[in-house]
Amino acid sequence: MNAEANSAWAKDKAHVLHPYTDFASFHDEGSQVITGADGMHVTDTDGRKFIDAIAGLWCVNIGHGRREMAEAIADQVMKMQYYNPFGHSTNEPAAELGAWLANHAPGSLNHVYYTCGGSTANDAAIRLVHYYFTMRGDHRKKKIISRNNAYHGATYVAAELTGIHGTKNSFDKVGENFIHHVSAADMFAKPEGMSEQAYCDHLVQEFETRIEQLGPDNCAAFIAEPIMGAGGVLVAPRGYHRRMWEVCKRHGMLYIADEVVTAFGRLGHWFASEDVFDHQPDILVCAKGITSGYIPLGATLISDEIYDVISRPQCEGGVFSMGLTYFGHPVACRAALENVAIIEREGLLSHVQEISDYFQSSLRTLAEDRHVGDVRGIGLMAAIDLMEAPEEKRPFAASFKASDRVFNACLSQGSIVRPVGDRIILSPPLIIEKDHVDQLTGHLRNALTYLRT
């Protein structure tokens, strides 16, 4: 076997099925193999060093390669690396983290269900919603309203495939078609001439109308990312989340905030729902930044009100039967505790509050480019929309692969950005400094010239 065939690149290409990957072209190109990571940077097998402008995948909040994380993880492995987490036993880090989350989360979100990441945490949220209404005797309240363009995860209906009698007692058969979608809060889609306030009214009215159509007695919950992330870093009109929450309250629905991206500092706060968007969700879902991606972990937080109902004696639906082997994994929870200690010790929340103005205004200078339709964002989340002719809202032909061109041009200069559709998405580690912002903006400015036809 020659050296290339024996390389990680070749083995990966031959054997690994990557997410969101066109397997046909992947077979020829393979993947860039990242071998090192330190602070704001990652390096590949060729020794090339890049600014990681997407924090891994919206997750490496404290930056790469932190020795304190390695030490905390190693220490926990040496002490107690794993034990069965079901009802009769627990571990110290899971308990400590539960208390930390209850102290820092908005409102009365005092109870946590741990999972393996964001998708499983959203699965748990839906399971808990159904369980809650079943326990209350509201057997019809099962429908969930989400939004077009939302991203909430990738798991399949594993529980539906399970055939063991008794594992589904606590979950009613909701059948197909229990998830519905309303419009995204997309200011770029706001009709010409309509005010921000009127657009917000329109979205809230659409939500009300959908609830009326589905029947308020059937509607259980609304789920939303505070800032729609993968859907394009869409910042909702002012007051939107609060008003959607008020509609939920009026119709006896639960509000689920999917803070998988926005929690743990990305918007300069532990959680965005209350501090940035002025409402207290009934359920809050987090993952990613909870451990800064050092180890997978997700968490679904529920309010006292929900807990009081599901903890009633002799619940008619039986026990909450969603069980994950790695629930409250001690090493992951210990990593999360160290991660939040680093964020606290280094004042990263206030750092984000300060640096994000510089980050956002620096990126907005790119709006002058003739192929940029919009630059937007908040905190350390941003998106750049690429267009052939922004004044006519004319997109590039798909075959032109505009965002791939910008991605490749950034890569060759030393920055990794994220192409999604005809957008570039940015979500750097929270430790970003002004000189990183300057380099990144410079790389993007040059990269945009690759769109000239």
- Residue 119 contacts ligand PMP per CB under 6 A: yes
| Cα–Cα distance measured from residue 59 to residue 361, given in angstroms and rounded to the nearest whole number | 23
SS3 category, 103: helix
Q: How far is the CB of 92 from ligand PMP (least distance, A)?
A: 25
Q: Are strands 381-386 and 372-378 parallel, antiparallel or unpaired?
A: antiparallel
| Cα–Cα distance measured from residue 389 to residue 396, given in angstroms and rounded to the nearest whole number | 8
| Interface pick for ligand PMP out of 109, 253, 272, 287 (rule CB under 6 A) | 287
| Interface pick for ligand PMP out of 258, 338, 369, 385 (rule CB under 6 A) | 258
- Residue 128 contacts ligand PMP per CB under 6 A: no
- Residue 271 contacts ligand PMP per CB under 6 A: no
- Residue 236 contacts ligand PMP per CB under 6 A: no
Dihedral, 272, 278, 284, 287 alpha carbons, nearest 10 = 0
Q: Give strand pairing partners of 418.
A: 425
| Cα–Cα distance measured from residue 92 to residue 212, given in angstroms and rounded to the nearest whole number | 46
Complex with ligand PMP: residue 229 or 428, whichever CB lies closer: 229
- Residue 152 contacts ligand PMP per CB under 6 A: yes
Q: Which residue type is seen at 357?
A: D
| Interface pick for ligand PMP out of 229, 237, 373, 379 (rule CB under 6 A) | 229
Q: Could you tell me which stretch among 114-122, 156-164, 375-383, 385-393 binds ligand PMP (CB under 6 A)?
A: 114-122
| Cα–Cα distance measured from residue 295 to residue 337, given in angstroms and rounded to the nearest whole number | 12
Complex with ligand PMP: residue 372 or 424, whichever CB lies closer: 424
Complex with ligand PMP: residue 271 or 396, whichever CB lies closer: 271
> What does 255-321 look like in DSSP terms, one character per residue?
EEEE-TTTTTTTTSSS-HHHHTT----SEEEE-GGGTTTSS--EEEEE-HHHHHHHTSTT-TT-S--
Query: In this structure, what DSSP letter does residue 19 have?
Result: T
Complex with ligand PMP: residue 258 or 422, whichever CB lies closer: 258
Question: Residues touching ligand PMP: how many (CB under 6 A)?
Answer: 16
How many other CB atoms are there within 10 angstroms of residue 197's CB atom? 11
1, 178, 232, 281, 301 from 244: Cα distances, Å:
60, 19, 20, 11, 20
- Residue 225 contacts ligand PMP per CB under 6 A: yes
Closest residue to ligand PMP, judged by C-beta, is: 118
- Residue 230 contacts ligand PMP per CB under 6 A: yes
> What does 110-150 look like in DSSP terms, one character per residue?
-EEEEESSHHHHHHHHHHHHHHHHHHHT-TT--EEEEETT-
Q: How far is the CB of 126 from ligand PMP (least distance, A)?
A: 12
Binding track over 51-70 against ligand PMP, x by CB under 6 A: -------x------------
Q: How far is the CB of 69 from ligand PMP (least distance, A)?
A: 18
CB 58 within 8 A of CB 379: no
- Residue 123 contacts ligand PMP per CB under 6 A: no
What residue ranges in 151-240 does DSSP mark as E strands?
A: 179-182, 219-224
- Residue 264 contacts ligand PMP per CB under 6 A: no
| Interface pick for ligand PMP out of 73, 125, 236, 261 (rule CB under 6 A) | 261
Q: How far is the CB of 268 from ligand PMP (least distance, A)?
A: 18
Copy the structure tokens of residue 108: 């009365």
| Interface pick for ligand PMP out of 135, 260, 363, 383 (rule CB under 6 A) | 260
- Residue 117 contacts ligand PMP per CB under 6 A: yes
- Residue 151 contacts ligand PMP per CB under 6 A: yes
List residues binding ligand PMP (CB under 6 A): 58, 117-119, 122, 151-154, 225, 229-230, 258, 260-261, 287
